Amino acid sequence: MTTLQQAEAADHALIEELDRLVIVKSTIYTSGERDPREPLPRQQDKGKLYLMGHDPRLPRMPEKPALFDFFRLRFGPAAHMLQSARLAKKNGVDEKIVLACLIHDIATSGFIRSDHGYWAAQLVEPYVDPEVAFAIRYHQVLRFYPDESVGYRYPDSYVRLFGADFKPEPYVERAYQYARKHRWYMSARLLTVNDLYSFDPNIHVELEEFTDIVGRNFRQPAEGLGFDDSPSAHMWRTINWPTRYL
Ligand SMILES: [Fe+2]
Ligand SMILES: [Fe+2]
């Protein structure tokens, strides 16, 4: 078979597999586009099975996926995180914080955008130093508050994105006040300092640049992320298999 024939055969197999399956989107994927209280439009499911594993439209993950497999096969473009991590390294911050920069926005690029710092912290908490999870969790709120002592100003991009009148809600203010007094405040603050507002499309950073830092600071479970029964294993499984029926 030629390469073209192989590609056509693969396409054909995918279409046939999809024909046999019912794939239902989780409410959260469409809430807003549609009113979540409305019943889902009924799909033709006669003679079909509901998807209970790998979604054939996605690249297949290894059986024991590691962090970089998620970067390569499930996360969106990671240039922002990679460039932030490189900047942190260049600025000579502790390598724990370099790791925090490398993974701080994994929720926006691969899971859930709203409250992304909290989701990302929860995802990685079982595998990293508590200080790393703290920095990731609180970068979410610290981004809204300047700290002159380290040259961090309120981002111009936030004025553009959210308007000049945008005010964080009281729960954000409370979380900021809590973080401000915490002994790990500066770790979270350094994450915001190295969290690039705009990244340079001409700089290319490879994940491999951080293999050693991840090796030393992220405890990859032998069973693979999602299969180690940790408190966040189910979240990694959902990223791996986002359309499982149950
Ligand atoms: Fe972020
Ligand atoms: Fe970021």
State the distance from the centre of ligand 1 to the C-alpha of 44, rounded, in angstroms.
Answer: 40
State the distance from the centre of ligand 1 to the C-alpha of 162, rounded, in angstroms.
Answer: 15
State the distance from the centre of ligand 2 to the C-alpha of 21, rounded, in angstroms.
Answer: 37
Q: Which amino acid is at 116?
A: H
Nearest residue to 132 (alpha-carbon basis) of 236, 221, 217: 217
Going by C-beta distance under 8 Å and a sequence separation of 6 or more, which residues neighbour residue 82? 102, 205, 206, 207, 209, 210
State the distance from the centre of ligand 1 to the C-alpha of 226, rounded, in angstroms.
Answer: 23
Give yes or no for a contact between 50 and 24, defined as CB atoms under 8 angstroms apart.
Answer: yes
Mean pLDDT of the chain: 95
Return the sign of the alpha-carbon dihedral for residues 76, 112, 31, 39. positive
Dist. CA 130–CA 170, nearest whole Å: 25
Return the sign of the alpha-carbon dihedral for residues 101, 104, 108, 113. negative
State the distance from the centre of ligand 2 to the C-alpha of 166, rounded, in angstroms.
Answer: 19
**Taking the model in full, what pTM does it have?**
0.94
Per-residue pLDDT of 167-208, as tens digits, reads 999 999 999 999 999 999 999 999 999 998 767 788 899 999
State the distance from the centre of ligand 1 to the C-alpha of 164, rounded, in angstroms.
Answer: 20
Return the sign of the alpha-carbon dihedral for residues 189, 191, 194, 197. negative
State the distance from the centre of ligand 2 to the C-alpha of 79, rounded, in angstroms.
Answer: 10
Share of the chain above pLDDT 90, in %: 89
Which ligand places an atom closest to the C-alpha of 108?
A: 1
Tens place of pLDDT per residue across the chain (246 aa): 889 999 999 889 899 888 899 999 999 999 999 999 999 888 899 999 999 999 999 999 999 999 999 999 999 999 999 999 999 999 999 999 999 999 999 999 999 999 999 999 999 999 999 999 999 999 999 999 999 999 999 999 999 999 999 999 999 999 999 999 999 999 999 999 999 876 778 889 999 999 999 999 999 999 999 999 999 999 999 999 999 999
Give yes or no for a contact between 140 and 118, defined as CB atoms under 8 angstroms apart.
Answer: yes
Give yes or no for a contact between 206 and 68, defined as CB atoms under 8 angstroms apart.
Answer: no
